[in-house]
């Protein structure tokens, strides 16, 4: 997990610094070299305003991180997108390891945080039989909702907050690898 955090930190820094092809390629090589210090193999791609990193450790275990332009939909998240909400540009990510995957998407809606939070609260409550549900609400309409299934080792977290132009919704889902 520490290696994953280091990779993620390096990817974020490189993605922010890479504005043209030459610095982009230099950043890719820098990240690959940093990852390979522990004997892992790495392939880094910072094109198209996103970051994609694939690592393979000495035992042959492969992990992937996609940030910014990952294809993340309702099926991966396990909950629907809020009606009329649109994914924020560069607001999706996906991490895949042999143990499981984490999916994240940022949605934006013109509706109020209260209305968006009520939508997700209703959806998660409908799915909560036999699972643990957490509901923390703020006075400004913001909410942090989470549904965890200990048996299946899955979770989905929905954070609803006031955004610059309405409401931002961050959805993060964790899924184990199918056995």
Going residue by residue through the chain, which has 179 residues, state the pLDDT in tens, using 9 for 90 and above: 445 555 555 555 555 554 556 677 888 888 888 888 888 898 988 887 788 989 998 889 999 999 988 899 999 999 999 999 999 998 999 999 999 999 999 999 999 999 999 999 999 999 999 999 999 998 888 999 999 999 999 999 999 999 988 999 999 999 998 76
Residues 45 and 82 in one domain: no
**Kind of pairing between the strands at 143-149 and 41-45:** unpaired
Structural domain for 44, as ranges: 2-67
From 45, 67, 89, give the residue that closes a domain.
67
Residues 17 and 97 in one domain: no
User: Helices marked H in the chain — which ranges?
Assistant: 2-17, 21-36, 74-77, 113-126
Domain count, the chain: 2
What are the distances in angstroms from CA 119 to CA 36, 41, 132? Answer: 45, 44, 18
69: DSSP letter:
S
Our CA angle for 35, 39, 44, nearest 5°, is 35
Same domain, 83 and 146: yes
- The answer to whether residues 169 and 129 belong to one domain is yes
pTM, two decimals, is: 0.83
């Amino acid at each position: 997990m520490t290696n994953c955090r280091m990779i993620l930190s390096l990817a974020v820094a490189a993605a922010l610094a890479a504005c043209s092809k030459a610095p982009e390629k230099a950043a890719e090589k820098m990240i690959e070299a940093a990852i390979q210090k522990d004997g892992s193999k790495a392939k880094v791609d910072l094109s198209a305003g996103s970051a994609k990193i694939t690592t393979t450790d000495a035992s042959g275990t492969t992990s992937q991180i996609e940030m910014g332009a990952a294809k993340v939909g309702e099926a991966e998240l396990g909950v629907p997108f809020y009606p009329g909400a649109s994914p924020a540009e560069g607001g999706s990510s996906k991490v895949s390891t042999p143990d499981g995957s984490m999916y994240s998407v940022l949605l934006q809606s013109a509706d109020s945080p209260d209305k968006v939070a009520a939508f997700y609260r209703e959806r998660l409550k409908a799915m909560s039989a036999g699972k643990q549900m957490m509901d923390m609400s703020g006075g400004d309409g913001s909410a942090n909702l989470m549904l965890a299934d200990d048996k299946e080792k899955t979770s989905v977290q929905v954070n609803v907050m006031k955004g610059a132009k309405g409401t931002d919704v961050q959805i993060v889902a964790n899924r184990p690898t199918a056995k």
